[in-house]
């Protein structure tokens, strides 16, 4: 069955969840990290380090680092997991990275944008 824009509803749901997940710069940064790492599993702390190191303004205070850690744990990683871009174990803080899945989803999103441009 196709939806109103011609895509199958499952494909449309994947695209919608990808757009939502990628709408935030932290989540895009986390996807960039996932695509660049050779590891298949990363820890919450590794991701916090990555985000803090790349934050435009200095994040020197512990409170700022804690804020980043809390936002990743409770907002950004769950959103990426909900979109199917990563697998996230909230209890252990371990993130399972599948670059092929992320690449496929990014390609589907890119193709959707290209289709919009062709209209």
CATH code for residues 9-118: 1.10.10.10
- pLDDT tens for 18-43 read 889 999 988 998 999 999 999 999 99
For the chain, domain boundaries: 9-118
Q: What is the pLDDT of residue 1?
A: 42
CB contact set of 34 (below 8 Å; sequence gap of 6+): 42, 85, 86, 95, 97, 99, 102
The low-confidence residues of the chain, meaning pLDDT below 50, are 1-4, 59
**Which pTM value belongs to this model?**
0.81
| CB atoms closer than 10 angstroms to residue 56 | 6
**Cα–Cα distance for residue pair 101/17, rounded to 1 Å:** 14
Comparing C-alpha atoms, which of 13, 21, 31, 45 is closest to residue 97? Answer: 31
Q: What is the pLDDT of residue 80?
A: 95
Find where tokens 């695509």 sit: 35
């Amino acid at each position: 069955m196709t939806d109103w824009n011609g895509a199958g509803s499952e494909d449309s749901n994947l695209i919608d969840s990808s757009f939502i997940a990628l709408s935030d710069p932290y989540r895009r940064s986390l996807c960039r990290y996932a695509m660049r790492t050779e590891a298949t599993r990363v820890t919450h702390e590794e991701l916090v380090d990555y985000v803090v190191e790349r934050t435009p303004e200095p994040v020197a205070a512990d409170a700022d680092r804690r804020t980043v850690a809390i936002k990743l744990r409770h907002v950004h990683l769950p959103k990426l997991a909900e979109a199917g871009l990563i697998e996230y174990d909230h209890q252990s803080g371990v993130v399972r990275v599948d670059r092929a899945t992320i690449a496929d989803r990014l390609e589907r999103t890119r193709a959707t944008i290209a289709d919009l441009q062709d209209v």
